[in-house]
Amino acid sequence: MNILQGKNILIMGVANKRSIAWGIAQSLHAAGARLLFTYQGERLKKNVEELVASLQADDEPILISCDVTSDEDIEQAFRQIKERVGVLHGIAHCIAFAPTEELEGRFSATSRSGFAIAHDISAYSLVAVMRAAEGLMAEGGSVVTLTYLGGERVMPNYNVMGIAKAALESCVRYLAADMGKSSIRVNAISAGPIRTLAAKGIRNFNEMTKHVADKAALGRMIDQSEVGDTALFLFSHLSRGITGEVIHVDAGYSIMGN
């Protein structure tokens, strides 16, 4: 089913094969999209090159370095995208970061700089990226970002990332209102826990996933392919009436009262 044939979609945030961004890339590739990738910096370049080569796409791969803390990086990335493809139809924003010491202990101990960094990378980057992309989405577009239940409810150790996800979800609504007249839609997928680099080293992750699997309506965890297929829907014509929304892909964990 080539429902994304002829669409140019940028994937931001592939670090390795476990990345949610890579799960999204696989779903979109299978649906016929032409994919472009940005990665955080030279450290990750080889990883992304190898993964993208494995897709065996017809077109030449487009990989661009882009650290979202730099306005200059964002500008040059979209300048290159404009030169290479002219029109962009979608962006998957799969980027988050808080300094590791902020992801344990008391939330009230959050430092001023830790708060600023978490919000800059995990929430403001969506605003900066969409501003840079707006002119390229001349045929309308769909933007998908990734959030987590910790933005709505208190989750142990998620701390300042929860506040940044709440800001991100609000950015989704304001951006959807702002860019709706240009036929650009903006939505978030709230994914259940998945073992990725961003989940590595989290205290009690194993016990937490066991609890989630037990409690979820479907009685299990989710994986990257399920997020990828929901993203596929959000990038397709099928979701043309949906914008400013947060869709939970969590096996029904968040609906349960007990």
Q: Which residues bind ligand NAD (CB under 6 A)?
A: 13-15, 19-21, 40, 44, 67-69, 94-97, 121, 146-148, 191, 193-194, 196-199
Residue 157 in contact with ligand IMJ, rule: CB under 6 A: yes
**Strands, DSSP E only, in 20-94?**
34-39, 62-65, 90-93
Among residues 124, 158, 174, 253, the one annotated as catalytic is 158
Among residues 39, 124, 148, 253, the one annotated as catalytic is 148
Residue 207 in contact with ligand IMJ, rule: CB under 6 A: no
Binds ligand IMJ (CB under 6 A): choice among 1, 58, 100, 207: 100
Question: Residue 4 touches which of ligand NAD, ligand IMJ, none (CB < 5 to 8 A by kind)?
Answer: none
- What is the distance between the alpha carbons of residues 163 and 59, in angstroms, rounded to a whole number? 40
Is residue 160 exposed (0-12), middle (13-18) or buried (19+ Cβ within 10 Å)?
buried
Residue 178 Cβ vs ligand NAD, minimum distance, rounded to whole Å:
21
Query: Does the annotation count 148 as an active-site position?
Result: yes
Contact 30, 54 (CB under 8 A): no
Q: Is 196 helix (H, G, I), strand (E, B) or coil?
A: coil
Residue 169 Cβ vs ligand IMJ, minimum distance, rounded to whole Å:
13
Residue 252 Cβ vs ligand IMJ, minimum distance, rounded to whole Å:
16
Helices assigned H by DSSP within 61-189: 71-85, 112-119, 125-133, 159-179
Query: Does the annotation count 174 as an active-site position?
Result: no
Element (H, E) at 46: helix 42-53
* Number of amino acids touching ligand IMJ (CB under 6 A): 15
Residue 44 Cβ vs ligand IMJ, minimum distance, rounded to whole Å:
14
What's the start-to-end Cα distance of the chain, in Å? 39
What residues act catalytically? 148, 158
